[in-house]
Every structure is written in C-alpha cells, then in structure tokens.
Amino acid sequence: MKTKILILFLTLLFSSLCYPQEKKIISEDLEIIKLSENAFIHISYMEDPSFGRFPCNGLIYITDNEAIVFDTPPDTVITLQLLNWFFDTYPDVRIKGVIVNHFHNDCLGGLSEFHKLGIKSYSSELTPELAGKINLPIPENTFKDKLELEVGKEKIICRYLGEAHTKDNIVAWIPGEEILFGGCMVKSLNSSKGNLADANVSEWANTIKKVKDEFKTVKIIIPGHGSYGGTELLDYTIKLFSDL
C-alpha cells in the first residue's frame, strides 16, 4: 500500500512539473491557461441538464503575429469575452482561422462571432450537415481526411481518423509545439464516458489507437473537458472504451 501511495504521489508531482499552469480568470465563465509562449487553453463553462455546470476546453496558437483558434466557447456571450480578451492582449495579431472539432455547441456555439469578423472556419466535411440539423452555426470550409494550414511560418495539421464521440470528430496537431488538440474524443484521466448521444462506442477505442499511432511525438494532449496531460490520456480513453 505504501508503495502504491508513493507512486501516486510521484506521478502527481511529475505531472505538475511537466504541465505548469499560468491561469488567468477573464470572467466567471471564461479562463485562460498559458501552456507556452505561443499556446493557450481557453476554458469556458456551460450548464447542461444532465451534467450540470462543466468546463469546455479550446486552444489558441499564436506565431508570427498570426493565430488559430481551436473550438469556440458554447455561446456568443462567452465567445465575445474571449475575442475581447484576445484583441486587448494581442492587438497586432490576426486570427487567421478557427478550427471546429465537431458539431456540438461546445465546439462551435460562438462561431457566428468569428464569421462576423471575416475569420475563416474549418471542420470535417461531415460537420456542416450535422450542425445544420440542430440549428447551430455552420463551418465554411471543410476537408475529408486531412487539412494543413499555415500560421506564420508554422503549420497546423487537422486529421479525421474515424468516429468516436461523434461521427465528425477530428484532432488538430501543432508540430512546432508537439501539442495535440484531441477534443471530446479524448477523455481526461478518471473521467466518465460522458455524453454518448451521438457516439460510436464500438469504434471509439479503435479511433484513438489510430490517433496514438499517428502522433507518436506528442507531449501535450488537450481533451474536450477536464485537465490536459500526455499520452496517458489516450491510453485511458482506449481502456475506457475497450471495457464495454
């Protein structure tokens, strides 16, 4: 027992050293965590009858006075808070695009505010139809399997690797930071399976295995909800949906 407790303590200590957090509270519904000089997690909070109040993760990547945003907050009010913080903090940086992980409102609920500013949006080719059916904003640009976007002198790679949390869920890879935005197909440690209304639970583990095989050098993985981490999040998700 003592050995197990020591291992747990060392694991938590190592995690805190590897993933230091510099958090800024923008409002009661929005927080920003600085991952590096170029990467920031935006965390917005929403209410759901089934799950109560919970956090939703997105990402911002800035380089060479250009930025990409990964997912919007779940509504226009919090999205405007995010945009106001961004332009106040980085007045000389242009948001080049917003990447939508999947069709749920915790990914694209505030998309119309980006469109009003002429900011391009990107998603899986499956997302517009699914979002349209439930009267949510529709991404403008789509791809089938892979999309590469240039941000300054760096690049972002978006991949569709199969169904999991939804039919259209994608992942986004920032090679220069070795950060993977996994979204809701990746679960935080010790979390439940979550919302399965649009999920393919029989394929979920297989899709995550493909993600793990493709992005072997990943250092930081950001799930759709909960704390970020490393490849242990992929292993946990695989196990969670293999034990059906």
Which three-class secondary structure string do you get for the chain?
CHHHHHHHHHHHHHHHHHCCCEEEEEECCEEEEECCCCEEEEEEEEEECCCEEEEEEEEEEEECCEEEEECCCCCHHHHHHHHHHHHHHCCCCEEEEEECCCCCHHHHCCHHHHHHCCCEEEEECCHHHHHHHCCCCCCCEEECCEEEEEECCEEEEEECCCCCCCCCCCEEEECCCCEEEEECCCCCCCCCCCCCCCCCHHHHHHHHHHHHHHCCCCCEEEECCCCCECCHHHHHHHHHHHCC
Q: What are the CA-CA distances from residue 157 to residues 8, 136, 175, 183, 184 (Å)?
A: 35, 25, 8, 14, 18
For 162-195, write each residue's pLDDT tens digit. 999 999 999 999 999 999 999 999 999 999 999 9
The percentage of the chain sitting over the pLDDT mark of 70, rounded to a whole number, equals 91
102 is an active site residue: yes
User: What is the reported pLDDT for 244?
Assistant: 58
Whether 165 is catalytic? yes
Which of 96, 102, 167, 212 is catalytic? The answer is: 102
Taking only the tens place, the pLDDT of each residue in 40-69 is 999 999 988 877 899 999 999 999 999 999
Tell me the per-residue pLDDT of 109-143, one tens digit each, with 9 for 90 and over. 999 999 999 999 999 999 999 999 999 999 999 99
pLDDT over 80 at 233, yes or no: yes
Q: What is the mean pLDDT of residues 15-36?
A: 80
Active site residue 195: yes
pLDDT at position 50, please? 78
- CATH topology for 20-242? Metallo-beta-lactamase; Chain A (3.60.15)
Q: Active-site residue among 42, 96, 104, 212?
A: 104
Q: Among the options 42, 96, 165, 212, which is catalytic?
A: 165
**Average pLDDT over the chain, rounded to whole?**
92
**pLDDT given for residue 12 in this prediction:** 38
* pLDDT tens digits for range 70-90: 999 999 999 999 999 999 999
Q: Which of 195, 198, 206, 209 is catalytic?
A: 195
Catalytic residue chosen out of the listed positions 96, 167, 212, 225: 225
Residue 199 has pLDDT above 70, yes or no: yes
The pLDDT assigned to 195 comes to 93
**Can you give the pLDDT at residue 51?**
79
Q: Does residue 205 have a pLDDT over 60? A: yes
pTM of the model as a whole: 0.90
To the query of whether residue 104 is one of the catalytic residues in this protein, the response is yes
> Residue 137 contacts by C-beta under 8 Å, 6 or more apart in sequence?
108, 109, 110, 111, 112, 115, 131
| Residue 42 appears among annotated catalytic residues | no
What integer pLDDT is reported at residue 190 of this predicted model? 96
